[in-house]
Structures are given as structure tokens and as C-alpha cells.
């Protein structure tokens, strides 16, 4: 079915739920007026509907391939990339000094979501470039900025991120890639990287690889890692792509999904690179890109959920099966209670995960605009929640979409299964969702839980305000916040981090569930008697209560996890 960009939903969330008005009130983002926001969303939505959406199915059926060392992309992807680049969608949040729009990350996130809904395989490309742009803006020398940023922002070149090695997955500090000084300010990069998204293509002049490597005097572990810009082709004296660098695509991964996105094993054989940031400080620079990508990946999950939901709703409205159980029904399976349950759950979770992601983006924007440490803490706290919950919702909604299709969901021709195959990896990359949860209960609570408590205070105050018009829903949200506060206090009190880690994933999901109730309640307040109030009632009555069981799990500690020995687990 054709994809429909949910432009009005974004506008509602910006205006009534996540507070984009406070971003617009800052000097930095004063140009992000409602009219400009609407124009950007409308135009980007049109591109997604008309140009990118047709590539979704064709890219899956005709994957990217490696021929004699050259990556051949799926048919039509050159035109899709051109539309993204020429529309300026690579660079919505990038610095205007180098050709970017300088607009809020919240608007970038909305556009990225629409691209993800229409064709996730191609949206991976601008997501990597956006992260690289931010890393270079914050850490690169003026010379590197002047050379690379204009070309990345225009889409003439694009960027990748090279962290993982065959023996070193999440343990980045175990990497073996070496960087030897050449004596002229450049470095010879030697090593192998795996799982490199959009490592190459056949439609741009250059590919800019950010590569983690260790200098000869680099200490073991992450503290001895540096970051390097290693382009596919070396820039000539005019800054154009020149001779080929000594790097190559060894192979393309045979993946469960995202077949049109070339994910490669990369080999660097003394390739020429330039240091980005300070020696041995590469992880700090790379984390700038990774944090950008973590929100972006959460948004990808929401985007695929939206696409899968639209696909399932269209099928449910059309498919005739069984007797209609309600008076005046349509005769289609949408009349059946269980199908309604599935569709309403999909819709309610898409709203909740989208609101969390956009709230995280607003916090990032406010932190950039004000340098307020409380906004910085809010953005840092929400990032792992947005990433993990957004992608878990993407997986759950895609699976439920297949269930709505019944037997036809298992048949590839309907396209329902592709959403499930494509989105599955989002729970793994940029730090698995388990790692996100561990980060939430450890590093993000090094402040003694202050960022969490400030957020809970706001949620409870909002629920108090809603008691007059929505007493039942407001009380449910307020009580959920109190339960969440108690568990947060318990986690903060645990000095043994393994006790926290044992319940980290259920705690993150509980926090997301309660945040979802908070945002649904705000939507209900702004849409009295309308569909959003009805959806909020469904979420708060049927989905919010899940937080209680999750919190019990979160407080259970680690001991029972080790009751079964490794041998007993394997028996």
C-alpha cells in the first residue's frame, strides 16, 4: 500500500505535547517558525511518499551486490539518494556556515522518521552522514571542516562509522586497527572493520569513513583509541575526490533484512587518514556521532512501526473473513475485537514511542541552545530510552502487523514480513538495547537519579493539572509515576552495579511505559472528545499497567539469574 506521511501528527506533537515552542523561543532556533516547520514536513513527506516509498519493496527484491570489488546499489537508489541530497534533507540541523539549515534536531527527527517509514534501507545513509557532520563540527580541525563539511552537507559525499572488528563487538577497546604517523601530518591506517553500513555505493564521488584506530603510543582499552577521517578517494589540491585510497570492500554481509543497504567488511591497508580531535580521545569524538545515531536509530524503529501499522490497517479494512460481530460493521476483519486490540496497541505504542523520541530531540535542542546542564542531563537520560523503546516498538509493531495479516503475513508478496526483517537489527546496532538499559541505570544515574526525579516531578505535576478534566487517567499516570520513583530510588541505592544491570531492561521499559502514559495524557487534554483522547484512554487503561510487573522485575536483583549454572543452562 502507498505510504502516507503523518505530517499532522508531527505538528500536533510539536504544538501540544513535546514543547517545540520553547525551542523556537531561543535565539539559536528562532527561525524554526510554525510555517517553516509545516513547509519542511510537507515537502519531506511528499518526497517520502512519491520517491522513497516505491524503493522499499524493489530494494528488498533486488539487493545491493559486490561485483569485482565494486558495490552495485539497488535500482532506483541513485535517484532516491539524489532526492534526499537535493532536498537538503542530509543537513537540516547542520551548521549554516557550511551550508546546513541550522534547524532543530526535533525537525530532523521527524523527517528521518518519515524516510524510515518509506524506505529504511536508504534512510540509513543520511543518518550516518548526519552523525558524521555533528562529530566533525564538534571535534575536527578547521581544515577538515572546511574540506569535508560542505560536501557532506550537500550530499556530494557521504559518511560512515567504523567501530566494530571481527573480534571486538561491543568491547570497542579491544580493537587492533593501527594508525602509524606518515611524518606529514597524515597517518597510515591498517586493519579490518565489520558491519559498516553503506560502506560504498556507485552514485557518489566519495565516501568518508570515520575510523577508530590506535596510535603506536596508545594505551590498551578505550582510552588509547583515536579517530581518523579516511576517505575512499584522497582529496586533490582543489578538494575534489582524487586518487583511490588503499582501502576496499572485502565482502557484503548476507543479512536477514535491509537487503538494499550495503553492509560491508572493510579492509584498510596503510590507507591515508587524518586525525579528528585529540590523540587518544577518539571515543569522545565518536560518541558524538553515536549519540546522534542512537536517537536516530530509535526514530528508525518508530518509522518502521508507522509503516507496518499503515500496512496492517489497510489490510484489516479490506480483508473479509468471518461474520461481522458488531452491528453496522464493515464486514472486514477490522470489526473483530482481537484485530481492533492489535491495531489499537500498534497505534498507541507508535504515539508513545514517537513522543519519547521527539521529547529527547527537544531536550537536545534546548541543551544546544542554552548550554543549561539540566537540559543536557535530560537529553542524556532520554537517549537510551528513546533508542531502546523506539526500536522494541518497531519490532513489536512489525510482528503484530504480520499477525493482522494472518497467513498472508508469512507470505513475502504482501510485504508485511519485510518490515519485521528490516527493523530487527535496530535493536542491536549503536549499542544493543541491553547496553542502552545498562547505560540508563548506571552512567545516567551517576547524578544520584536527579535527572530521573526532575522528569518524574514534571510528569506528576502534569497529571495533577489533568485531574479536573480527566480524573481517572490522571490518577493512573500519577500513581505510575510514584511507583516508578520508588524503584528509581531502589536502583540508586544499589552500590553493586550488577544488581542494577539485572533489572535494567525491565526498568527502561517501565520508564518508557510511564512516559508514554504521560504524553498520551497530554494529548488527551489537548484533544478533548477527539481520537487522541480515545487512544489515550486505551493506552492508560490497557498498556500502562504493564509498568507494575516490569518494576517488580527491575527490583529483583541479580542472585536468581545465577541460580542456574552455565552447565545447567546448557543442559
DSSP-assigned states of every residue in 303-343: HHHHHHHHHHHHHHHH-B-S---STT--SBGGGSHHHHHHH
Residues 31 and 107: beta-carbon distance below 8 Å: no
Per-residue pLDDT at 267: 97
**What span, in angstroms and rounded, lies between the C-alpha atoms of 411 and 418?**
10
| The domain defined by 159-282 carries CATH number 2.40.110.20 | yes
**Beta-ladder partners of 191:** 268
Local structure of 251: helix, strand or coil: strand
Per-residue pLDDT at 1: 65
Sequence-distant (6+) residues with CB within 8 A of 130 are 90, 91, 93, 94, 108, 112, 292, 296
What does each C-alpha distance from 69 to 64, 251, 399, 469 come to in angstroms?
13, 8, 36, 64
CB atoms within 10 A of CB 484: 26
From the candidates 134, 306, 430, 533, give the one annotated as an active-site residue.
430
Max CA separation in the chain (angstroms): 81
Sequence-distant (6+) residues with CB within 8 A of 495 are none
Residues 160 and 199: beta-carbon distance below 8 Å: yes
The length of the chain, given as a count of residues? 571
What does each C-alpha distance from 111 to 6, 46, 90, 296 come to in angstroms?
10, 11, 10, 11
Q: For the CA atoms of 384, 390, 395, 399, what is the dihedral angle to 10 degrees?
A: 150
Sequence-distant (6+) residues with CB within 8 A of 422 are 60, 120, 121, 257, 258, 304
Q: Which of 438, 427, 429 is nearest to 508 (CA)?
A: 438
What proportions of the chain, in percent to the nearest 5, are helix, strand and coil? 60, 15, 25
What does each C-alpha distance from 545 to 197, 281, 511 come to in angstroms?
38, 44, 12
Could you confirm whether 430 is annotated as catalytic?
Answer: yes
Mean pLDDT, rounded, of the chain:
96
H helices of 405-470, in order, are 416-423, 433-441, 450-466
Q: Does pTM top 0.85 for this prediction?
A: yes
Residues 240-258 have pLDDT tens digits of: 999 999 999 999 999 999 9
Residues in the chain where the model's pLDDT stays below 50: none
Residues 430-444 have pLDDT tens digits of: 889 999 999 999 999
Q: For the CA atoms of 473, 475, 477, 483, what is the dihedral angle to 10 degrees?
A: -150
Sequence-distant (6+) residues with CB within 8 A of 183 are none
Using the structure block, give the residue that is written with the C-alpha cell 563540527.
137
**What span, in angstroms and rounded, lies between the C-alpha atoms of 489 and 519?**
23
**What span, in angstroms and rounded, lies between the C-alpha atoms of 354 and 358?**
6
DSSP state of 13: I
Q: Which of 163, 115, 156 is nearest to 135 (CA)?
A: 163
- The three grid cell numbers given for residue 556, joined into one nine-digit string: 529483583
- The three grid cell numbers given for residue 414, joined into one nine-digit string: 504482501
In the chain, where are the structural domains located? 7-151, 159-282, 440-571
CATH code for the domain defined by 7-151: 1.10.540.10
Sequence-distant (6+) residues with CB within 8 A of 29 are 23, 103, 104, 365, 369
Amino acid at each position: 500500500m502507498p505510504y502516507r506521511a503523518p505530517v499532522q501528527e508531527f505538528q500536533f506533537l510539536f504544538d501540544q505535547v513535546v514543547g517545540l515552542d520553547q525551542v523556537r523561543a531561543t535565539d539559536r532556533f528562532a527561525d524554526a517558525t510554525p510555517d517553516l516547520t509545516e513547509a519542511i514536513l510537507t515537502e519531506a513527506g511528499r518526497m517520502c511518499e512519491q520517491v522513497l516509498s516505491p524503493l522499499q519493496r524493489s530494494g528488498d527484491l533486488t539487493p545491493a551486490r559486490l561485483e569485482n570489488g565494486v558495490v552495485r546499489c539497488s535500482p532506483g537508489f541513485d535517484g532516491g539518494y539524489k532526492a534526499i541530497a537535493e532536498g537538503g534533507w542530509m543537513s537540516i540541523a547542520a551548521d549554516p556556515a557550511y551550508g546546513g539549515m541550522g534547524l532543530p534536531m526535533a525537525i530532523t527527527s521527524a523527517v528521518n522518521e518519515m524516510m524510515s517509514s518509506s524506505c529504511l534501507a536508504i534512510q540509513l545513509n543520511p543518518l550516518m552522514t548526519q552523525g558524521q557532520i555533528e562529530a566533525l563540527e564538534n571535534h575536527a580541525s578547521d581544515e577538515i571542516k572546511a574540506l569535508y563539511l560542505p560536501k557532506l552537507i550537500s550530499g556530494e559525499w557521504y559518511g560512515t562509522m567504523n567501530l566494530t572488528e571481527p573480534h571486538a563487538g561491543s568491547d570497542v577497546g579491544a580493537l587492533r586497527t593501527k594508525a602509524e604517523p606518515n611524518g606529514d601530518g597524515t597517518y597510515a591506517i591498517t586493519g579490518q572493520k565489520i558491519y559498516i553500513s553503506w560502506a560504498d555505493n556507485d552514485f557518489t564521488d566519495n565516501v568518508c569513513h570515520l575510523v577508530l584506530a590506535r596510535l603506536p603510543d596508545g594505551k590498551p582499552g578505550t582510552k588509547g583509541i583515536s579517530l581518523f577521517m579516511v576517505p575512499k578517494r584522497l582529496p586533490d589540491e582543489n578538494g575534489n575526490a582524487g586518487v583511490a585510497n588503499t582501502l576496499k570492500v572485502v565482502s557484503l554481509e548476507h543479512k536477514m533484512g535491509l537487503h538494499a543497504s550495503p553492509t560491508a567488511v572493510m579492509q584498510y591497508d596503510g590507507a591515508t587518514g587524518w586525525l579528528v580531535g585529540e590523540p587518544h580521545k577518539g571515543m569522545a569524538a565518536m560518541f558524538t556521532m553515536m549519540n546522534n545515531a542512537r536517537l536516530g536509530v530509535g526514530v528508525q524503529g518508530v518509522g518502521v512501526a508507522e509503516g507496518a501499522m499503515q500496512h496492517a490497517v489497510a489490510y484489516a479494512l479490506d480483508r473479509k473473513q468471518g461474520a461481522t460481530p458488531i452491528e453496522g460493521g464493515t464486514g472486514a476483519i477490522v470489526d473483530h475485537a482481537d484485530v481492533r486490540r492489535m491495531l489499537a496497541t500498534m497505534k498507541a505504542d507508535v504515539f508513545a514511542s514517537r513522543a519519547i523520541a521527539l521529547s529527547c530531540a527537544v531536550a537536545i535542542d534546548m541543551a544546544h541552545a542554552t548550554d543549561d546542564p539540566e537540559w543536557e542531563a535530560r537529553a542524556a537520560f532520554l537517549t537510551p530510552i528513546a533508542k531502546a523503546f523506539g526500536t522494541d516498538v518497531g519490532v513489536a509493531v512489525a510482528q503484530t502487523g504480520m499477525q493482522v495479516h494472518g497467513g498472508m503475513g508469512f507470505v513475502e508478496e504482501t510485504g508485511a514480513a519485510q518490515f519485521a526483517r528490516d527493523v530487527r537489527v535496530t535493536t542491536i546496532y549503536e549499542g544493543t538495547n541491553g547496553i542502552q538499559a545498562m547505560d540508563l541505570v548506571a552512567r545516567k544515574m551517576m547524578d544520584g537519579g536527579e535527572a530521573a526525579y526532575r522528569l518524574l516531578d514534571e510528569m506528576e505535576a502534569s497529571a495533577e493539572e489533568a485531574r479536573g478534566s480527566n480524573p481517572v487517567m490522571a490518577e493512573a499516570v500519577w500513581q505510575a509515576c510514584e511507583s516508578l520513583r520508588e524503584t528509581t530510588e531502589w536502583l540508586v541505592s544499589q552500590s553493586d552495579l550488577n544488581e542494577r544491570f539485572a533489572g535494567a531492561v525491565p526498568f527502561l521499559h517501565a520508564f518508557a511505559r510511564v512516559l508514554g502514559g504521560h504524553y498520551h495524557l497530554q494529548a488527551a487534554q489537548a484533544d478533548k472528545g477527539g481520537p487522541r483522547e480515545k487512544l489515550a484512554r486505551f493506552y492508560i487503561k490497557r498498556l500502562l499497567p504493564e509498568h507494575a510487573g516490569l518494576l517488580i522485575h527491575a527490583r529483583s536483583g541479580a542472585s536468581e539469574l545465577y541460580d542456574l549454572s552455565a552447565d545447567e543452562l546448557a543442559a
